[in-house]
Amino acid sequence: MGSANVGKGGSCNECCDAPGAPLRNAATCSTKARRTLPGARQLACRRTNGRKLGVRKLRQNGGWLQRIAVDGLPMVALRLAGLLRGIERCHRPVISLAVPCCHPLLAEYACRDNKSMITCEDPFVVLGVAREASRDEIRSAYRRLAMRWHPDRNPSPAAAAEFKRVHAAYELLLDDERLATWRRAGQGGMTDGAAAGDDLVQSLTLTLEQAAAGCQRTVELPHRVRCSSCAGSGRVRHNHSVPCPACSGCGRVVRAGGKTGRCDTCAGRGYLRETACSDCAGSGWRDEARTLEVTVPPALLAGERLRLARQAPLPPGDELKIAGDLYLEISLATHQLFVLDGLDLHCRIPVSIFRLLCGGRIEVPTLNGTTWIELPPWSPTADGHRLAGLGFPGKGKRAAGDLVLHPEAIHPRLAAREDCQLLELLDWRLAADLERRAPLLADWQLQLRARRDGPIA
């Protein structure tokens, strides 16, 4: 391995390229930075053991890598891939929290040089897809971003780097083995030390039949993804100048008091090369419909909750957190026939007055369909007719409820004269033995006779 000769000015005369060799003299090497990342900021070299420096800095401050990345300094010269190989075993929790904020080009270099998934960016965030996205959704997002950032189609200087970033994320998501390694390395919000997102409670309305027997339901969740039109930046760069919307292209605006001043939006130029993205209103995020297929178990009552682990949507910017749990709180819709009281089902059934008087078989509704019951000759009861076990189903040690039927007498209209004659004959036969067949009616007749024959006090 060749050593890096460091002069007084702090610049390197040569750089070692031996793969996997430890860094001896230069903690930062501007030559390597210039060779790997054209246009990168040159860094002063130090006569320090790079491996010990990295370990010490990581021990002292877990945000060391993140602080350098925020300052925009490329860390390729640190031989980060080799550095991480030596310390990732004992410092993996620190690295997992610090590296995701690194420069995308650094992450690309580290993955290419070390074949390590630790330093790669979150591919789901790069492509702007949900973690449960299908391969078709991932492929569609990649094609859209590839067409946008391909160097042959986009003249921007950053297009090539962005295209490589998108392509690297796409390859990682389609390779199951690399994706599994990436998850085990602590990315994607799957580490034990990562922060957890908030839980979400959402109402799920079911019918009585669905709650009793269980069902499959599609739940729509609020979900925000990075805007694909602006790649999450909130700004759109145009190939030509467009008039400033704040000053209508004149470069000056009217301020309070009638005075005019320079437009702050366009700095007085009257035109812009970048404008706010119209698809996301400049926020970099847009709402996207996300549906979730849920299997509802049977015998769920109102107020009970169904827990779906790690299915709560994450707010924008928190994609690296562990998703919280989604709780579906069950509510029951008003039923047309049944009223649920505890586990008992109450149902009012209209029955002809003649069937109530004579009794017989009638068809009644249940949660699973209908059934036939034998109705006894009519006898008034306030509690109704109780059918054991035909109410709301039980669960575990909870027994099933009963179906309580409340018959309501229906008096039909008599259109034919023959029907009236039959009823008059029945009434005449009833009057012959009124005290036994209708004691209330007999008592009423006695009161009327007493008022008619005797004086009224």
Shared-domain flag, residues 3 and 64: yes
CB burial readout 186-222, b (16+ within 10 A) else e: bbbbbbeebeebeebebebebebebbbebeebebeee
Q: For position 42, what pLDDT does the model report?
A: 34
pLDDT average, residue stretch 442-446: 86
Shared-domain flag, residues 169 and 283: no
Domain with 422 in it = 417-453
**Last residue within a domain, chosen from 159, 194, 229:** 194
**Distance separating alpha carbons of residues 171 and 176, to the nearest angstrom:** 10
Q: Give the length of the chain.
A: 457
Shared-domain flag, residues 226 and 317: yes
* Measured CA distances, 261 to 249, 258, 380, 405 (Å): 14, 10, 89, 81
**Last residue within a domain, chosen from 64, 97, 116:** 116
**Last residue within a domain, chosen from 179, 194, 209:** 194
**Distance separating alpha carbons of residues 124 and 82, to the nearest angstrom:** 26
Shared-domain flag, residues 178 and 232: no
Bridge partners, residue 375, by sequence = 360
Strand pairing class (252-254; 369-375): unpaired
241 vs 209, higher pLDDT = 209
The count of structural domains within the chain is 5
Amino acid at 386: R
* Residue 405: both structure tokens together: 């039927």
226 vs 332, higher pLDDT = 332
Q: DSSP letter at 86?
A: H
Confidence of residue 317 (pLDDT cuts 50, 70, 90): low
Q: For position 212, what pLDDT does the model report?
A: 94
Shared-domain flag, residues 204 and 306: yes
Shared-domain flag, residues 401 and 433: no
Shared-domain flag, residues 213 and 325: yes
Shared-domain flag, residues 290 and 355: no
Q: For position 116, what pLDDT does the model report?
A: 40
390 vs 384, higher pLDDT = 390
Q: For position 196, what pLDDT does the model report?
A: 64
Shared-domain flag, residues 108 and 129: no
The alpha carbon of residue 241 and the mean position of all alpha carbons in its chain are separated, in whole angstroms, by: 40
Q: Which of 170-174, 185-189, 270-274, 334-338 has the highest mean pLDDT?
A: 334-338
Q: For position 15, what pLDDT does the model report?
A: 41
pLDDT average, residue stretch 220-224: 81
Q: For position 59, what pLDDT does the model report?
A: 39
Shared-domain flag, residues 100 and 51: yes
Q: For position 223, what pLDDT does the model report?
A: 78
Shared-domain flag, residues 252 and 320: yes
Taking only the tens place, the pLDDT of each residue in 173-190 is 888 888 877 776 654 444
pLDDT average, residue stretch 383-404: 90
**CA count, 13 A, side-chain hemisphere, 165:** 23
Mean pLDDT over all residues of the chain? Answer: 72
- What's the CATH number where 235 sits? 2.60.260.20
- What's the CATH number where 137 sits? 1.10.287.110
pLDDT reading at 292 higher than 50: yes
Q: What is the pTM of this model?
A: 0.49
Shared-domain flag, residues 126 and 142: yes
**Distance separating alpha carbons of residues 198 and 19, to the nearest angstrom:** 44
Q: For position 53, what pLDDT does the model report?
A: 43
Taking only the tens place, the pLDDT of each residue in 89-104 is 333 333 333 333 333 4
Confidence of residue 392 (pLDDT cuts 50, 70, 90): very high
**Distance separating alpha carbons of residues 262 and 267, to the nearest angstrom:** 7
Burial (Cβ within 10 Å: 0-12, 13-18, ≥19) of residue 124: buried
